[in-house]
């Protein structure tokens, strides 16, 4: 079964998609030849769960992008620490005000959910964007990370009942317990730091993206090319076509 490209498709975009595919294949072949295995998260050998990703800034990321890419990784780590501190802050908040158990419950959910989700949804896309100069990865990162900035701002505000130890919640506890309030203010400061750093890094990534030649049109072409060349898609299309042919003959 042959896939016929749509008429009028730009040869330059086809060449670019082929080049990106070639680079990724070279990286995979190089890792296989050198016997490299996934190294992130760094887990001990006896641990039943094995690393899920391969990450090496010096090898996979161009020199001019390594600093910003590492800063995005450090931001994700800072993000994870902040969510853990938020959990502890909501716990001590619950000890002095038992009617606020919802905040503690939600803080557990935010830590368990948004630690891996942030890694998969905005850190890995920007890592891949810098690694393979992928327009689609850049636009996916900008879309998700813009929402992340808004979430950081909401978390730093600290709306009661939302599971966030922000400024409003921390100040409201001041009359009940000064020590708990101070701890919650520290966490609110962490959330504020996340918001400020994320805005700065978003601007830095956008500035570098403008020099890569990435465009929305290229992102669309990469997405379309990825869907068409995806083996699962091809298998599904072949199965659907075979079923339709059988029904037609019957």
If you search the block for the tokens 């068409």, which residue do you land on?
Answer: 228
How many other β-carbons are positioned within 10 Å of the β-carbon of residue 113?
Answer: 11
Give mean pLDDT, residues 58-63. 93
Distances in Å between the Cα of 81 and the Cα atoms of 66, 116, 230 are 23, 12, 37
So what's the pLDDT on residue 230?
43
Distances in Å between the Cα of 207 and the Cα atoms of 56, 68, 72, 127 are 23, 11, 14, 16
So what's the pLDDT on residue 134?
84
So what's the pLDDT on residue 72?
97
**Percent of the chain at pLDDT exceeding 90:** 57
The token pair at 60 is: 């996979």
Give per-residue pLDDT as tens, 7-39.
445 666 677 767 777 767 776 666 554 557 888
Angle between helices 124-132 and 178-209 (to 10 degrees): 20
If you search the block for the tokens 């203010």, which residue do you land on?
Answer: 185
SS (H, E, C) 213-241: CCCHHHHHHHHHHHHHHCHHHHHHHHHHH
Q: How far apart are CA 155 and CA 174, in angstroms?
A: 19
**DSSP per-residue letters across 7-58:** TT--HHHHHHHHHHHHHHHHHHHHHHHTT----BS---TT-SSPP-B---HH
Residue 47: pLDDT over 60? yes
Residue 244, burial from CB neighbour count under 10 angstroms (0-12, 13-18, 19+): exposed
Q: How far apart are CA 74 and CA 72, in angstroms?
A: 5
Residue 229: pLDDT over 60? no
**Contact criterion met (CB below 8 Å) for 147 and 81:** no
| Residue-averaged pLDDT of the chain | 82
Global pTM reads 0.75
Domain boundaries, the chain: 21-54, 63-212
Which one-letter DSSP state was computed for residue 159? -
Give mean pLDDT, residues 67-82. 97
């Amino acid at each position: 079964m042959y896939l016929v490209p749509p008429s009028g498709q730009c040869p330059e975009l086809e060449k670019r998609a082929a080049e990106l595919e070639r680079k990724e294949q070279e990286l995979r072949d190089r890792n296989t030849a050198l016997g490299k295995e996934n190294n992130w998260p760094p887990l001990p050998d006896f641990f039943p769960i094995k690393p899920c990703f391969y990450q090496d800034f010096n090898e996979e990321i161009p020199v001019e992008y390594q600093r910003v890419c590492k800063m995005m990784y450090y931001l994700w780590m800072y993000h994870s620490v902040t969510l853990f501190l938020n959990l502890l802050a909501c716990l001590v908040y619950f000890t002095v005000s038992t009617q606020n158990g919802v905040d503690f419950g939600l803080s557990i959910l935010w830590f368990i959910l948004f630690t891996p989700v942030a890694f998969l949804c905005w850190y890995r896309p920007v890592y891949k964007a810098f690694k393979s100069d992928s327009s689609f990865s850049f636009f996916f990162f900008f879309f998700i990370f813009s929402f992340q900035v808004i979430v950081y701002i909401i978390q730093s505000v600290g709306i009661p009942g939302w599971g966030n130890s922000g400024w409003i919640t921390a100040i409201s506890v001041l009359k009940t317990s000064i020590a708990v309030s101070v701890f919650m203010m520290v966490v609110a400061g962490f959330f504020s730091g996340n918001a400020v750093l994320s805005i700065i890094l978003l601007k830095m990534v956008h500035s570098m993206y403008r020099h890569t030649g990435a465009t929305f049109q290229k992102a669309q072409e990469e997405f379309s090319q990825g869907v068409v060349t995806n083996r699962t898609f091809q298998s599904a299309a072949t199965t659907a076509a075979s079923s339709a042919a059988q029904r037609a003959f019957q």
